[in-house]
Amino acid sequence: MSAPDPDPNPAAASAPPRTVVCVGDVHGYFTKLHALWANLEASIPARDFRTALVIFLGDYCDRGPDTRRVIDFFLSLPSAYPGQTHVFLAGNHDFAFAAFVGAVPGDAESFREGWKVYESYEESEGWYRGEGYENMHLQGRRWAGKIKARFNEVKGTEYKGSIFDAAPTFESYGVPHGSAGMTLGCPDGDWECDCEFQRRSISDA
C-alpha cells in the first residue's frame, strides 16, 4: 500500500480556524446594526475580529427608517476593516430594490415565465406604473407599488407603502414612496455607490 500523499499546504492545515460572523435581516435599522457591530467587536478577540469572514445574509432595506445609512455603513467596511472579508448576499427585498433602480435586467425572457404567478396581484398590490415601468423587472414594480390594503393580516402590522414595506427606503433617500426621481435624493454621488452595492449583492447571490 502506498503512503498517503503529503498535505500540499501544511501551513493551511495548521492555521487556526477563522472567525465567521453571519448577519441577516437588517431591514433599515441602522441603530440596531451599529449596536450589533459594536457588541461583536467587543466580544470577539481583537485579532480574530480583524481577520473575520463577515457574511451579510440579505434584506438590508425596507421597514426600518435608515436604509441609506445601512448601505453606507456596508460600503465603509472594506476600508475600515481591511483585514476582514465581507460577503453581501441579496435577499428578496434587495433584489426588488435593485430591480427598481435598473440593476436587474427587466426584459430577459428567462424571467418572464415566472412572472405569471404574480399577474393576478397587480391591481391589489398597486404595481408601479410610473416612468420606465415598461422595461422594469416585475419585482421592482411590486417594490415601488402602492398596495391597496392597509394591514398585513399575516404579520399583524400595517403596510409601509408597498407589499415590500419599501416606503421607508424611499424616504431615507429624501423622496416620496414610488418616486421615479429617487436618484435626485443623492446629489453627492452616494446614489451611484449604493446602486453599485446593489449590483454586487445580486451578482454574489
Q: Kindly name the residue from 27, 86, 93, 177 that is annotated as catalytic.
A: 93
What residues contact 192, with CB distance under 8 A and at least 6 apart? 186
What is the identity of the amino acid at 86? Answer: H
Q: How far apart are CA 86 and CA 102, in angstroms?
A: 24
Report the alpha-carbon distance of residue 205 to residue 202 in Å, rounded.
5
54, 84 in Cβ contact below 8 A?
yes
> Could you give the residue ranges of the DSSP H alpha helices within the chain?
10-14, 30-43, 46-50, 67-80, 92-100, 109-115, 122-125, 138-144, 167-172, 190-204
- Catalytic, 93? Answer yes
For cell 416620496, the residue is: 176
Three cell numbers written together for 172: 431615507
CA distances to 22, 50, 74, 82, 166 from 18, rounded to whole Å, are 13, 10, 21, 15, 36
Point out the residues that are catalytic: 93
